[in-house]
Structures are given as structure tokens and as C-alpha cells.
Amino acid sequence: MTNPEVAVLQLGILVFVIMLGFPVAFTLMALGIGFGFYAYYEADMFARTFARLAGEDPGFFAGIWAYFRALLANRVFDLFVNRTYSVMSNDVLTAIPLFLFMGYIVERANIVNRLFRSLQIAARNLPGSLAVAALITCALFATATGIVGAVVTLLGLLALPSMLRARYDIPFATGAICAGGCLGILIPPSIMLIVYGATAGVSVVRLYAGALIPGFLLAGIYVIYVVTRAYLNPKLAPKIPDEEVAHISGLQIFGMLLTSFFPLFILIMAVLGAILFGLATPSEAAALGALGGLVLAAAYRALTWERLQESVYLTVRTTAMVCWLFVGSGIFASVFAYLGGQEVIGNFVVGLDLSPLQFLLLAQVIIFLLGWPLEWTEIIIIFVPIFLPLLAHFQIDPLLFGILIALNLQTAFLSPPMAMSAYYLKGISPPEVRLAQIFNGCMPYMVLVVLAMVVVYVFPATIYWLPGLVYGR
């Protein structure tokens, strides 16, 4: 078996083992070190190392110990240490725990509860007002946390009971919550964009600027869809009875928004503004966001020791998962490339004689299919690097490619049979809400995501206008 064939076997085993449910990070490290030991094994060097070690301390047990020390002289272990150090010393990745902490502390301060209630009343005259309020709340909260499970679960607890009491159609209600909860993958300050930037070597600042318009474009398409469907078929989303909100004045509504919407909006805009206008690096802006989250929680008198402990614990757990994924994928990718696997795939794709558009379609279809069994972290860290070396051949900008992936990954959380956002919502839904109904509610939003991807590709100014305006070409 030649080295390229071994590399293909390595990739095949990885996919198979992940499908069995093994932890991805440790699977990557195990396969990387195992195949790397074979890739970097040099018989002559092993023999010389063993002879030198055995000669220094002769004897049976000393010889066995020398044998194992000679095995450990394999360069794959140096690769493991170096990749671990490079991940831990990456300044860009410092922003991840800080943004996560901001999201977790905001979530536990009950700010989202106030936000949804105020938006629900403010949008009361719109068709499908509860769904619109849920989408806007999801978009805003998703930018603060970027964690799909947290957003869908929290909005499911807050918005779904209100929709069911108002006799909303179940697929209509659940679809809006699932789709809105995925927006944090795309809208800055997105954790996914930080991970993609670190993987692809693309400026996170430019990624944020490029993703801003497509992110709010997709959120706007969602809102237009909800309002249009509710207007054409009022039975899907009955209007809130006037007696429930008639006693609330416009001034009172403004006051509710002032204490819920504006503080969180100002915090997010301050973080994004500091990044986009070069006032702070992503890590420094993330530190500002974490501090702002603490201040907001304290202002709402929701900053308790228990909530702080929970936020720190969840931040450390999620950050450790991402960092070890980076370590594992670095080892795996290095060995895979050393064995010639990257060259095999590159030659195969180039041999297909695809146009840039066809290559983009092929890559996006593969990423869409990978989104069924895998989380976005595994897709970005493991599989996207396979496509990155081919971008130059097809003259595709990594910035455009990254934004299209961020849009595409929305579908990964919405597409049956492995629509994770649907499972998150089902886990906290009443028994009468069936999983099939949630799937049905998600399907239209997958079409809307594809529509947004087409718009972004046909009108690339949606991506390039803001980075060009702020940073130039």
C-alpha cells in the first residue's frame, strides 16, 4: 500500500469512527499519532537511537526501557507538542473564551426574557408578531453567544409557550425558533468566523465586515417570510388579543425597549464597532464584551456567585473542546498531507476540469451533507482545510468561500434527519409538539438559506462593500 492510499485509509477511518459516535478531538489525535508514527518512522534512526540508549545502560530491563525510549524518538511526538503549543499561543483564538463568556453571562442574567417580551409587544400590530419577536430576539442573542443549542433552547423556553397559547401553527412557530437560533453562526461576533479565520489564515476583522450584511440580509429574509405567510394565512399566527396589550402605552413600550433591547444592542455594536473600525483587536473587543456582559448582569441584579460559576464552567468546557479540536486536526492534517492525501484529493478535483462555480457547488454540497452528522466545529477544522489549497487554482477568494460556508452551515442545523436545532427544541417542548412537525417547520428556511447564498454569489458587493469601505482593497 502506497503512502497516498494510506492517507485515504486514514480519512476513511476518521469518517467511520466519527459516525460511531467517538469523541472527535481525541479520535483526530489518536489517528494522527497512529498514522503519523507510520509516516515518520525511520528504521535506521530507530536502530541508531536504540543502540545508543542500550549502550549507555546495558541490561535486560534497561534494554526494554531503551527500546521504548527509541520508539518515543519518532518525530510525530514532536509534531504533537508543537501543534499543541501553536494552538495555545494563537492570539486570535483568545477571543473565543471571552465571547463565549459574554454570551453565557448574558443568557443567565435573564436579559433575553425581558428582550423577547418587549419586542413581542412592540411588534404586536405585525402579522405573526410573536414569530417576528422570536426571530429578532434570536438574531440579537445569537450575536452575543454564537451557540446554536443555547439560543434555540432558551427561546424555546421563552417564545414557544407564548406561541402555543396564542394558537400558533406548530410547524410555523417551531421553524422560526430553529432558524433564528442558527443565525449566530453567521452574524458577527461569530465564533465560527474566528475559527474559520484561524484555519484559513483570513483576517477575522475582514470576515466580520464581510459577514455583517449577509447575516442581516438572511435575518431580514426570515422576517419577511414570516410576516408574508402570516398575512396570507392568518390561521397560522393569530393576532394577540387587544385586551392583553391595550393597557400598555407607547411610552411604556419605549421604556421596556430602553431597558432590554438597547443595552444589549449597544454592547454588541460597541464590540463590533471596536473591531470593524480598528479600535481594538478581536481579542481586545471580546474582553470588552465580557466586561460589558458582567456590567449588564450586575445592572439587572442578576450577577450571583452561582451564575458566575456556571458561566465560567461552560466557557472553559466549550473552549477546551474547540482548542483540542484544533490540536487534533493539526496533527491529523499534517500527517494526511505528509502521506500525500491532500495531493491525491487536489489532483482528483483538478482532474474533473470544473469551473469555479461548479467547484463552489461541489464544495457546498459536500459541506451540506457533512452537516447532517457533524457539528460546525468539526466541519470547519477538519474538512474545510481540504478545500482551502484548491481555492487559488479556481481563483476563489477565501473571504467569499468562508461567508458561503457560514450561510450553508445554517442548513446543517435545519436539515433532517440530523437537524440538531430541531432536537434541541424538541428536548424542551411540550409532548404535543412532535419532531416531525419541527422538521416540517424548518424546511422552508432551508430554501431561504439557499436563496440568500444565491443572492450573495450573484451580488458579491454584499460581502465586499463594507470591508472595502472600511479597510480598502
75 pLDDT higher than 80: no
Instruction: Supply the pTM of this predicted model.
Output: 0.80
Averaged pLDDT, 156-178: 86
Peptide bond before residue 189 is cis, with ω within 30 degrees of 0: yes
**What secondary structure letter does DSSP report for 240?**
P
d(CA 302, CA 198): 34
Residue 149: partners with Cβ closer than 8 Å, 6 or more residues away: 420, 421, 424
Q: Please give the helix or strand (H or E) that residue 334 lies within, else none.
A: helix 305-338
- Residue 220 pLDDT grade (very low, low, confident, very high; cuts 50, 70, 90): very high
- 134, amino acid identity: A
What proportion of the chain, given as a percentage, has pLDDT over 70? 86
- Work out the mean pLDDT of the chain and round it to a whole number: 80
62 pLDDT higher than 60: no
More confident residue, 63 or 138: 138
d(CA 239, CA 230): 9
- Residue 60 pLDDT grade (very low, low, confident, very high; cuts 50, 70, 90): low
Write down the pLDDT at residue 456: 92
278 pLDDT higher than 90: no
Handedness of CA 441, 444, 450, 451 (dihedral sign): negative
Angle at 127 between CA 424 and CA 426, to 5 degrees: 10
186 pLDDT higher than 70: yes
Write down the pLDDT at residue 48: 59
> Is 470:206 a contact under the CB 8 Å cutoff?
no
195 pLDDT higher than 60: yes
Region of poorest pLDDT, from 54-63, 195-204, 246-255: 54-63
340 pLDDT higher than 90: no
Region of poorest pLDDT, from 146-160, 265-279, 353-367, 393-407: 146-160
> Is 191:104 a contact under the CB 8 Å cutoff?
no
222 pLDDT higher than 90: yes
Residue count of the chain, please give it.
473
Most distant CA pair in the chain: distance in Å? 92
224 pLDDT higher than 90: yes
More confident residue, 193 or 157: 193
Averaged pLDDT, 283-296: 85
Write down the pLDDT at residue 55: 63
Write down the pLDDT at residue 280: 82
Tens-place pLDDT, residues 405-462: 989 888 877 877 667 788 878 887 888 888 888 889 889 998 999 999 999 999 999 9
392 pLDDT higher than 90: no
Secondary structure (3-state) at 450: helix
Region of poorest pLDDT, from 109-113, 315-319, 325-329: 109-113
